[in-house]
C-alpha cells in the first residue's frame, strides 16, 4: 500500500485538474441515480393509473437526464485520459532524469534492458490505473453508497437482502489480493528479464551470428518468454476463477430480490414501479461491486509496477554533490592525486598509494600493462567514482567539494570504447557544445583529421551514422570522438587510448594536430602505443595499481625499468608486423 500512496502523490501538481475531474465524477454519480426514480414514476403514475398526461414530461426528464449523463461522461473521460497521459509523461521524464544522475557503478550492475522495462513497460502499466482505476473506484464508491441509501429508502427488507453478499465479496477479494500480488510482481520482473536479454542479444548480434549461435539464443529467448507466459497464466488462473464467481454471487442477490419482491407485489405490499426501480438500483448497486473487483486487479498490477519504479527512484547515487559543494567558474588545470586508493565495489584494490600532480598546461601520459589502473585514474578525475581513501584535487579543491556540473564543464574525454549517437555527424560533434559555429565545427573536425572523410560521406556533416556509428570504421569513429572533445575547448583533456583504432597515417596526423590542441591545456594521455607519447612532458608507468616510474621518455628509457621493457617489447611487435 505504500507504493499506492506514493502513486497518488504524483497527482498533487495537477490538483486543479483532479478537482475538476472529481466534480464531474460526483455529478455523474448523482445524475446516474435519477433514471430509476423516473422509471418508477412512469410505471406507477402513468402505466398503473392509465394516465398519459404526465408521460411526455417524465420522458423528457428521462431523456434530459441521459443527455446530461452523456455530456458529463464525455467531459470526464477526456479530462481523465489527458491527465493520465500527462502524469505518465512526467513520471517517465522524471525517471529518465533520475537515471542520468546515478553513478556509473549503478549502470554496471543493472542491465540496460531492465532499466528500459521500468521506464517504458512499468510506467505504461500505471496509465490504466491512473485513467480508470482511481477515478472509477471513486465514482463506483459514490454509486454504491448512493444506491444503498435509495434502496433502504424504497424498502429496508429488500435492501438488506441485496447487501447480504457484500461481506462474502469483501472476504474473497482480500484472499484474491493476498495470492495474486506476488504473481503480478513476478510478471513485471520476468518482463524486465526478457527486455534485458533482448537488448543484450540485439546489441551483440554480430557476435551471435559470427559464432553461429542463433539456435542457442533462440532457445534461451524462448525459455525466458515461456517463464513469462507461466507467470501470466498463473495470474489468469486466479482471475478466471475469482471474477466469474464474484459475478455469480452478485447475480444471486438479484434473484433473491426478484423472488421476494414478486411476492411483495402480489400481496400488495410493494408497487410494480417500486420493484422496477428497485431492480434498477440493484444493478446500480452490484455493478460498482463487480467493477471494484475488476479494478482491484488493475490496482494489483499498478502496485507491482509501482514497487519496481519506486525501487529505482529510491536508489541512491554513489556520486553526489556535497551540501557545501562549490562552483569553479575558472580553472587553471592543476590535478593532484594524494595517496589515492581505489577499488570497484567490494573487489580488490586497483589503485594503491597513488600520488602525483599534473601542472596546469602539462601533458602527462599513463602507461602500463592491462589492468594496471590507467583508466581508473581517468575515471576518478572525471569523478565517475570516488577514491576509497585519499583525495584528488583540482586547483587545490577536493573534487568531492566541487559540483559535478562545474567539474565536468571543464573536462573533455575521448574514451577507448567510442560511443556515438544514432544521429548525424553534425549532431554528434555538437553534443558537448550545441551553440558552436560552423567555423568552429569544421576547425575541430580538421584538427582531428576527420573533415576530409566527413565530406566524402553521402550527406557530409548531415549524414546519419547509425547506432553507435555502425556505418563508420573504428578509426573514423575515434576521430569524430576526438573532434567532439576538441570542439568543447576544455581546460582538461583526457585521451584514453584515443588513437588505438586509427591507421598509421591518421595517427601521425592526429598527433601533429594534438601538438597544437594540447598547448596550454592540462592533458592526461593513456596509450598502449608508446610511440604516441614521446613528446609528453612526463610519463607515469603503472603496474598492479602502483606507480613504478615517473619521468620523460628519454629518462625512462635510460633507467631500463618498466617503461623501457614495455617500449622494447612494442618495438619488437611493430617490427614483427
* Domain membership flag for residue 443: no
* Domain membership flag for residue 47: yes
Query: Higher-confidence residue: 225 or 68?
Result: 68
Average pLDDT in the 106-131 region?
77
DSSP conformation class of 103:
-
Whether residues 340 and 244 share a domain: the answer is no
Q: Comparing 31-40, 213-222, 457-466, 511-520, which segment has the lowest mean pLDDT?
A: 511-520
What is the grid cell recorded at 551?
619521468
SS3 (DSSP) at 464: strand
CATH of the domain at 247: 1.20.1560.10
Whether residues 265 and 394 share a domain: the answer is no
Give how many domains the chain has, as a whole number: 2
* Domain membership flag for residue 356: yes
Residue 543 CA to residue 177 CA, distance in Å, equals: 58
Residue 471 has pLDDT above 60, yes or no: yes
Whether residues 168 and 243 share a domain: the answer is yes
Whether residues 248 and 339 share a domain: the answer is no
Whether residues 358 and 245 share a domain: the answer is no
Quick: pLDDT tens for 520-562.
788 898 877 676 677 788 999 898 889 998 988 888 888 878 8
Strand order in the sheet with 349-358: 349-358, 335-343, 389-394, 397-398
Whether residues 140 and 20 share a domain: the answer is yes
Mark 558-573 as b/e (b = at least 16 C-beta within 10 Å).
Answer: eeeebbeebbeeeeee
* Domain membership flag for residue 539: yes
Distances (CA, A) of 340 to 130, 353, 364: 50, 5, 18
- DSSP letters spanning 153-178: HH-HHHHHHHHTHHHHHHHHHHHHHH
pLDDT at 531: 65
Which of 244, 278, 313 is a domain's end point? 313
What is the grid cell recorded at 373?
589502473
Do residues 76 and 158 make contact, with C-beta atoms less than 8 angstroms apart?
A: no
* Domain membership flag for residue 528: yes
- 86: Cα within 13 Å, side-chain hemisphere: 14
Whether residues 213 and 340 share a domain: the answer is no
Q: Please state, rounded to an integer, the average pLDDT across all residues of the chain.
A: 80
pLDDT at 207: 67
Whether residues 347 and 251 share a domain: the answer is no
Quick: pLDDT tens for 326-367.
988 788 889 999 999 998 877 788 999 999 999 998 989 898
Pairing of strands 546-551, 538-543: antiparallel
pLDDT at 359: 92
pLDDT at 215: 83
Whether residues 156 and 234 share a domain: the answer is yes
Quick: pLDDT tens for 385-418.
899 999 999 998 999 999 988 888 888 888 777 7
Quick: pLDDT tens for 259-268.
877 887 787 7
- DSSP letters spanning 168-219: HHHHHHHHHHHHHHHHHHHHHHHHHHHHHHHHHHHHTHHHHHHTT-HHHHHH
Domain range for 273 is 2-313
CATH of the domain at 388: 3.40.50.300
Which of 283, 313, 343 is a domain's end point? 313
Do residues 561 and 548 make contact, with C-beta atoms less than 8 angstroms apart?
A: yes
Do residues 328 and 407 make contact, with C-beta atoms less than 8 angstroms apart?
A: yes
The Cα angle at residue 469 between residues 463 and 473, in degrees rounded to 5: 100
Whole-prediction pTM value? 0.70
Residue 490 banded pLDDT, cuts 50, 70, 90: confident
pLDDT at 158: 78
* Domain membership flag for residue 202: yes
Contacts 24+ apart (CB under 8 A), 350-356: 350/376, 350/545, 351/376, 351/377, 351/380, 351/387, 351/545, 351/546, 352/544, 352/545, 352/546, 353/546, 353/547, 354/390, 354/545, 354/546, 354/547, 355/390, 355/547, 356/540, 356/547, 356/550
Which of 313, 344, 375 is a domain's end point? 313
Find the Cα–Cα–Cα–Cα dihedral 17, 23, 29, 32, rounded to 10°: -100
pLDDT at 71: 92
Residue 294 has pLDDT above 70, yes or no: no
Average pLDDT in the 113-119 region?
79
Whether residues 247 and 372 share a domain: the answer is no
Average pLDDT in the 36-43 region?
80
* Domain membership flag for residue 476: no
Residue 577 has pLDDT above 60, yes or no: no
Quick: pLDDT tens for 143-199.
777 777 877 887 787 777 777 777 777 777 777 767 776 777 777 778 777 877 777
* Domain membership flag for residue 258: yes
Whether residues 347 and 298 share a domain: the answer is no
Residue 430 has pLDDT above 80, yes or no: yes
Residue 241 banded pLDDT, cuts 50, 70, 90: confident
What is the grid cell recorded at 563?
617503461
With residue 96 as reference, give the H or E element that holds it.
helix 55-101
Whether residues 113 and 159 share a domain: the answer is yes
Amino acid at each position: 500500500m505504500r507504493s499506492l500512496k506514493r502513486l497518488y502523490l504524483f497527482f498533487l501538481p495537477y490538483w486543479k485538474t483532479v478537482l475538476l475531474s472529481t466534480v464531474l465524477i460526483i455529478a455523474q454519480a448523482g445524475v446516474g441515480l435519477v433514471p430509476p426514480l423516473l422509471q418508477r414514476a412512469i410505471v406507477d403514475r402513468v402505466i398503473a393509473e392509465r394516465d398519459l398526461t404526465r408521460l411526455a414530461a417524465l420522458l423528457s426528464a428521462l431523456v434530459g437526464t441521459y443527455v446530461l449523463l452523456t455530456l458529463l461522461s464525455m467531459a470526464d473521460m477526456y479530462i481523465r485520459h489527458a491527465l493520465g497521459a500527462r502524469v505518465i509523461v512526467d513520471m517517465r521524464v522524471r525517471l529518465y532524469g533520475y537515471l542520468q544522475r546515478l553513478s556509473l557503478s549503478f549502470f554496471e550492475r543493472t542491465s540496460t534492458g531492465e532499466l528500459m522495462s521500468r521506464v517504458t513497460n512499468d510506467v505504461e502499466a500505471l496509465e490504466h490505473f491512473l485513467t480508470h482505476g482511481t477515478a472509477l473506484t471513486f465514482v463506483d464508491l459514490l454509486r454504491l453508497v448512493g444506491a444503498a441509501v435509495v434502496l433502504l429508502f424504497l424498502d429496508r427488507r429488500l435492501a438488506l437482502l441485496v447487501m447480504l453478499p457484500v461481506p462474502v465479496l469483501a472476504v474473497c477479494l482480500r484472499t484474491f489480493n493476498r495470492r495474486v500480488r506476488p504473481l503480478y510482481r513476478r510478471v513485471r520482473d520476468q518482463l524486465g528479464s526478457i527486455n534485458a536479454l533482448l537488448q543484450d542479444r540485439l546489441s551483440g548480434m554480430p557476435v551471435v551470428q559470427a559464432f553461429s549461435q542463433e539456435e542457442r539464443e533462440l532457445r534461451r529467448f524462448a525459455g525466458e518468454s515461456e517463464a513469462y507466459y507461466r507467470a501470466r497464466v498463473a495470474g489468469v488462473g486466479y482471475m478466471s476463477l475469482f471474477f466469474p464467481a464474484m459475478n455469480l454471487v452478485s447475480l444471486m442477490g438479484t434473484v433473491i430480490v426478484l423472488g421476494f419482491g414478486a411476492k411483495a407485489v402480489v400481496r400488495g405490499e410493494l408497487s410494480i414501479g417500486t420493484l422496477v426501480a428497485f431492480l434498477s438500483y440493484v444493478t446500480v448497486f452490484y455493478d460498482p461491486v463487480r467493477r471494484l473487483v475488476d479494478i482491484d486487479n488493475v490496482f494489483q498490477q499498478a502496485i507491482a509496477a509501482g514497487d519496481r519504479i519506486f525501487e529505482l527512484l529510491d536508489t541512491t547515487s554513489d556520486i553526489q554533490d556535497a551540501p557545501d559543494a562549490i562552483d569553479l567558474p575558472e580553472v587553471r588545470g592543476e590535478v593532484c592525486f594524494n595517496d589515492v586508493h581505489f577499488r570497484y565495489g567490494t573487489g580488490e584494490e586497483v589503485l594503491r598509494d597513488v600520488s602525483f600532480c599534473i601542472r596546469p598546461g602539462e601533458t602527462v601520459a599513463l602507461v602500463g600493462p592491462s589492468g594496471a589502473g590507467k583508466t581508473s585514474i581517468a575515471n576518478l578525475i572525471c569523478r565517475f567514482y570516488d577514491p576509497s581513501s585519499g583525495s584528488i584535487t583540482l586547483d587545490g579543491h577536493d573534487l568531492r567539494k566541487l559540483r559535478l556540473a562545474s567539474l565536468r564543464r571543464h573536462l573533455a574525454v575521448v574514451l577507448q570504447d567510442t560511443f556515438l549517437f544514432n544521429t548525424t555527424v553534425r549532431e554528434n560533434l555538437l553534443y558537448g557544445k550545441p551553440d558552436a559555429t560552423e567555423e568552429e565545427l569544421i576547425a575541430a573536425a580538421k584538427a582531428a583529421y576527420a573533415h576530409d572523410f566527413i565530406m566524402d560521406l553521402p550527406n557530409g556533416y548531415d549524414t546519419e551514422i547509425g547506432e553507435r556509428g555502425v556505418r563508420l570504421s573504428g578509426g573514423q569513429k575515434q576521430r569524430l570522438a576526438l573532434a567532439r572533445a576538441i570542439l568543447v575547448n576544455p581546460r582538461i583533456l583526457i585521451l584514453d587510448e584515443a588513437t588505438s583504432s586509427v591507421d598509421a597515417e591518421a595517427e601521425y596526423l592526429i598527433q601533429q594536430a594534438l601538438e597544437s590542441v594540447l598547448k596550454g591545456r592540462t592533458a592526461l594521455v593513456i596509450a598502449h602505443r608508446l610511440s604516441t607519447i614521446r613528446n609528453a612532458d612526463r610519463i607515469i608507468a603503472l603496474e598492479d595499481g602502483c606507480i613504478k616510474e615517473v619521468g620523460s621518455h628519454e629518462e625512462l628509457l635510460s633507467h631500463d625499468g618498466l617503461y623501457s621493457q614495455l617500449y622494447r617489447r612494442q618495438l619488437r611487435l611493430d617490427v614483427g608486423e
